[in-house]
């Protein structure tokens, strides 16, 4: 049976490994369990098996694949593939060169290549459509399955770069599967976030080893994976994700929800911000907890209306930060991420990038230079415009905010004289292969909040960090019928208006601190957004 290459279903691609089989299972029993429950493509990958055993195993697996009409790919061993007339071969960068493999296999076989960076895409594009049929894009996340890993985990952002290269070099024929550390807790995020910047392409499938091969119940494991792949909505936080533009009326409703739900806002933040952030949280009718104890983070996340503010100016160990991200993602509670000094130092860049690949953030808030760096529009690409000055070109700011929102599938906030809020959540919808159907970052809904310059805002500590506290209160306090975009925009509008009010009442930076708390308290409890001084407009 020869498979027409262009109608191979790459959605759930099982790669075998007979070194991790649970007791009572065999390579064939695990493969059959997978095939029965939705595996659409199988690859035999046996790194240390004698050729004789490999051939025998491959023939057995081939029989089962034929029964389910699923193609069988052989990893690395082109000789075995030809000997048993397998449906294709997968090779890595250090295996036999692709043109040679193609010459041996002939035109009708499926040929896959491991790809980790855009330059490898440029090469396959040059070879043209008769060479590489699909690529394994990885290593996405840390994994113990691949021995002596040559590649460090690239995360979803690395996969986006590969998808962008496929579009740039016009390798439209080439299909893609993500691989490396893929499990139910990250698959939806990967499919959501791994979209080319032109919105035209997302991964055609996911490929994995241990989630099925090491599963005591491979049927259940496969069913769960199939459900995630056939789903279409990534509801990573329990509130409404639609993209309707906020109004002062919808913001008033958010404030009513926050004051009645009194959210618990866990701050993992820098020392300077701790005290002020706690007082801002209290002024907003919410209850702060400044805990960095890893062992209690799961309990805190389960408290009703819990909300995490993760401000990476904090000195908590990275394992604590990762545990917090996992804990809140696991129970669909919101995380506000403030990547302080995002790329100011190599250390911060590495820490922030590690956290950004580690979980789904409900909101990412930064100042101009942090957001521009996150959007990879940093200074040298901006031809002389100073990334920190207030006179930034608003179009550039909006573009950077939209890019961050799009790439991290989040609500992005860029603070400055003009605050920008862009909604990149797409109502949580995701789709294999076709990306966002061509919708790109600049199509994203974006709101501008302004109230003129408030220079004194820069003269106190933790003014930016405390907008993070305000956002965490607002999204934490939402009901399941509350709208996320309304909550974030409402928080920014309140904070800007309170800052302006406090600046007119204070005598200096000391009293500004106090006046800011009072203004937040007063405007929040009055809850009359239509009377606030800051203006709110669609970009
Ligand atoms: C076979 C393989 N190739 C990778 C690559 O990055 O090219 S990672 C990998 C192992 C993936 O195993 P698991 O699903 O258990 O993490
Ligand atoms: C190293 C590998 C990378 N990717 C893939 C696949 F996902 F199947 F494309 N298979 C491999 N053996
Ligand atoms: Mg290999």
Query: pLDDT, tens digit, for every residue of 75-120?
Result: 999 999 999 999 999 999 999 999 999 999 999 999 999 999 999 9
The full DSSP string for 501-526 is HHHHH-SSHHHHHHHHHHHHHHHHHH
* Range from 140-149, 390-399, 482-491 carrying the lowest mean pLDDT: 390-399
382 and 513 both lie in a single domain: yes
384 Cα: distance to centroid of ligand 1 (angstroms):
43
The pLDDT score that the predictor gives to residue 384 is 41
Tokens of 77: 């061993």
Domain boundary among 174, 196, 230: 230
pLDDT digits (tens, 9 = 90+) for 325-336: 999 999 999 999
* Percent of the chain's residues with pLDDT above 70: 97
Do 224 and 253 fall within a single domain?
no
| Residue 244 within any structural domain of the chain | no
Atom 5 in ligand 2: residue holding the nearest Cα = 136
Say whether both 40 and 176 belong to one domain.
yes
User: What is the model's pLDDT at position 456?
Assistant: 94
439 falls within a domain: yes
Are residues 125 and 50 located together in one domain of the fold? Answer: yes
Question: How much of the chain exceeds pLDDT 90, in percent?
Answer: 89
pLDDT higher than 90, residue 515: yes
Report the phi/psi class of residue 447: left, alpha or beta, with left for phi > 0 and alpha for psi in -120 to 50. Answer: beta
Q: Is residue 396 part of a domain?
A: yes
pLDDT band at 388 (very low <50, low <70, confident <90, very high): very low
Identify whether 174 is a catalytic site residue: no
374/425 same-domain check: yes
Q: For 414-447, what is each residue's pLDDT tens digit? A: 999 999 999 999 999 999 999 999 999 999 999 9
Between CA 285 and CA 525 the distance in angstroms is 8
The reply to whether ipTM tops 0.95 is: yes
Last residue in a domain, options 230, 265, 297: 230
Tell me, in angstroms, the distance from the centre of ligand 3 to residue 76's CA.
Answer: 5
Give the integer Cα–Cα distance in Å for 499 and 493: 10
Range of the domain at 54: 5-230
Contact 177, 163 (CB under 8 A): no
Q: Which ligand is nearest to the CA of 76?
A: 3
For residue 105, being part of any structural domain is answered with yes
Taking residues 195-214, report their average pLDDT. Answer: 98
d(CA 139, ligand 1 centre) in Å:
6
CA 95–ligand 3 middle distance (angstroms): 6
pLDDT confidence of residue 411: 98
**Final residue in a domain of this structure, among 195, 230, 265:** 230
Structure tokens at 17: 């490994």
* Residues pairing with 74 in the sheet: 44, 89
Residues 32 and 127 in one domain: yes
What is the per-residue pLDDT for 260? 97
Res. 390: pLDDT tops 70: no
Report, as an integer, the average pLDDT of 37-51.
Answer: 95
> What is the value of pTM for the model shown?
0.95
According to the model, what pLDDT value does residue 1 have? 59
Question: pLDDT value at position 151?
Answer: 82
CA angle 301, 269, 190 (to 5 degrees): 60
CA angle 156, 158, 160 (to 5 degrees): 70
Q: Prior bond to 139 cis, omega within 30? A: yes
Does residue 508 surpass a pLDDT of 70? yes
**239-266: average pLDDT:** 96
| Nearest atom within ligand 2 for CA of residue 113 | 9
Tokens 């901006």 correspond to 382
**pLDDT at residue 479 is higher than 80:** yes
Q: Are residues 325 and 462 in the same domain?
A: yes
380 pLDDT exceeds 70?
no
Q: Is residue 97 part of a domain?
A: yes
**pLDDT at residue 162 greater than cutoff 60:** yes
Q: What per-residue confidence (pLDDT) applies to 389? A: 45
Q: How confident is the model at residue 150 (pLDDT cuts 50, 70, 90)?
A: confident
Of 355, 294, 293, nearest to 323 by C-alpha is 294
- Mean pLDDT for 311-318 is 88
Kindly state whether residue 236 falls inside one of the protein's structural domains.
Answer: no
SS3 of residue 365 by DSSP: strand
Across all residues in the chain, what is the average pLDDT? 94
344: which residues sit within 8 A by CB, 6+ positions away? none
Query: Does residue 376 share a domain with residue 343?
Result: yes
Which is catalytic among the residues 194, 368, 465, 473? 465
183 lies in the same domain as 312: no
Query: Number of folded domains in the chain?
Result: 2
| Domain shared by 392 and 490, yes or no | yes
**pLDDT attached to residue 385:** 40
pLDDT tens by residue, 352-368? 999 999 999 999 999 99
Angle at 81 between CA 77 and CA 84, to 5 degrees: 140
Ligand 1 pocket, residues with Cβ under 6 angstroms: 15, 45, 114, 136, 138-139, 143, 145-146, 151, 179-182, 208-211
Give residues (CB < 6 A) around ligand 2.
13, 15, 43, 45, 75, 90, 92, 112, 114, 136, 138, 177, 179, 207
CATH number at residue 145: 3.20.20.70
Which range has the worst mean pLDDT, 57-71, 192-206, 448-462, 510-524? Answer: 448-462
446 and 386 co-located in one domain: yes
CATH number, domain of 485, equals 3.40.1190.20
pLDDT-based confidence at residue 387 (cuts at 50, 70, 90) = very low
Neighbours of 409 (CB within 10 A): 24
Q: Does residue 301 share a domain with residue 165? A: no
In a domain, 476, yes or no: yes
Kindly give the pairing relationship between strand 264-268 and strand 535-538: unpaired
Phi, psi for residue 154 in degrees, rounded to 5: -95, -20
pLDDT at 252: 98
Is residue 299's pLDDT more than 80?
yes
Asked, for residue 69, whether it belongs to a domain, the answer is: yes
């Amino acid at each position: 049976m020869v498979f027409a290459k262009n109608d191979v279903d790459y959605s759930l691609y099982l790669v075998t490994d007979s070194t991790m089989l649970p007791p009572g299972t065999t390579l064939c029993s695990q493969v059959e369990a997978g095939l029965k429950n939705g595996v659409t493509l199988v690859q035999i990958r046996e790194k240390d098996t004698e050729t004789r055993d490999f051939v025998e195993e491959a023939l057995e697996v081939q029989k089962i694949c034929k029964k389910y009409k699923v193609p069988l790919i052989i990893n690395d061993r082109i000789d075995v593939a030809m000997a048993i007339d397998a449906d294709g071969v997968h090779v890595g960068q250090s295996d036999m060169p692709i043109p040679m493999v193609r010459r041996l296999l002939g035109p009708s076989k499926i040929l896959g290549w491991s790809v980790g960076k855009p330059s490898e895409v440029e090469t396959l594009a040059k070879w043209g459509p008769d060479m590489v049929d699909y690529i394994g894009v990885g290593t996405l996340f840390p994994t113990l399955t691949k021995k002596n890993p040559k590649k460090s985990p690239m995360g979803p952002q690395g996969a986006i770069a590969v998808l962008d290269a496929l579009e740039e070099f016009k390798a439209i024929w080439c299909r893609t599967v993500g691989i490396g550390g893929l499990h139910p807790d990250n698959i939806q995020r990967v499919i959501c976030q791994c979209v080319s910047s032109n919105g035209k392409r997302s991964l055609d499938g996911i490929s994995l080893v241990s989630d099925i091969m090491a599963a005591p119940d491979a049927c259940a494991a496969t069913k769960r994976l199939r459900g995630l792949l056939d789903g279409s909505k990534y509801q990573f936080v329990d509130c409404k994700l639609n993209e309707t533009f906020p109004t002062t009326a919808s913001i008033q409703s958010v404030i009513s929800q926050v004051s009645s739900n009194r959210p618990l806002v866990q701050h993992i933040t820098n020392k300077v911000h701790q005290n002020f952030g706690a007082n801002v949280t209290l002024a907003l009718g919410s209850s702060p907890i400044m805990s960095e104890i890893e062992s209690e983070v799961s309990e805190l996340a389960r408290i009703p209306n819990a909300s995490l503010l993760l401000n990476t100016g904090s000195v908590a160990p990275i394992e604590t930060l990762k545990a917090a991200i996992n804990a809140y993602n696991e129970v669909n509670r919101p995380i506000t991420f403030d990547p302080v000094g995002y790329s100011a130092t190599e250390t911060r860049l590495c820490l922030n990038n590690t956290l950004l690949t580690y979980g789904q953030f409900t909101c990412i808030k930064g100042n101009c230079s942090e957001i521009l760096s996150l959007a990879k529009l940093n200074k040298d690409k901006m031809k002389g415009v100073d990334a920190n000055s207030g006179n930034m070109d608003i179009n550039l700011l909006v573009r950077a905010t939209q890019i961050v929102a799009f790439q991290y599938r989040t609500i992005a906030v860029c603070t400055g004289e003009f605050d920008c809020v862009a909604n990149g959540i797409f109502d949580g919808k995701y789709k294999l292969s076709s990306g966002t159907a061509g919708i790109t970052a600049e199509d994203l809904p974006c709101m501008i909040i302004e109230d003129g310059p408030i220079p004194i805002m820069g003269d106190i500590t933790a003014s930016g960090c405390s907008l993070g506290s305000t956002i965490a209160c607002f999204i934490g306090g939402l009901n399941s019928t509350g709208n996320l975009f309304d909550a974030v925009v409402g928080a920014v509008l309140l904070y800007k208006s309170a800052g302006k009010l406090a600046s007119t009442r204070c005598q200096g930076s000391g009293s500004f601190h106090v006046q800011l708390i009072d203004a937040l308290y007063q405007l929040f409890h009055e809850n009359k957004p239509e009377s606030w001084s800051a203006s709110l407009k669609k970009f």
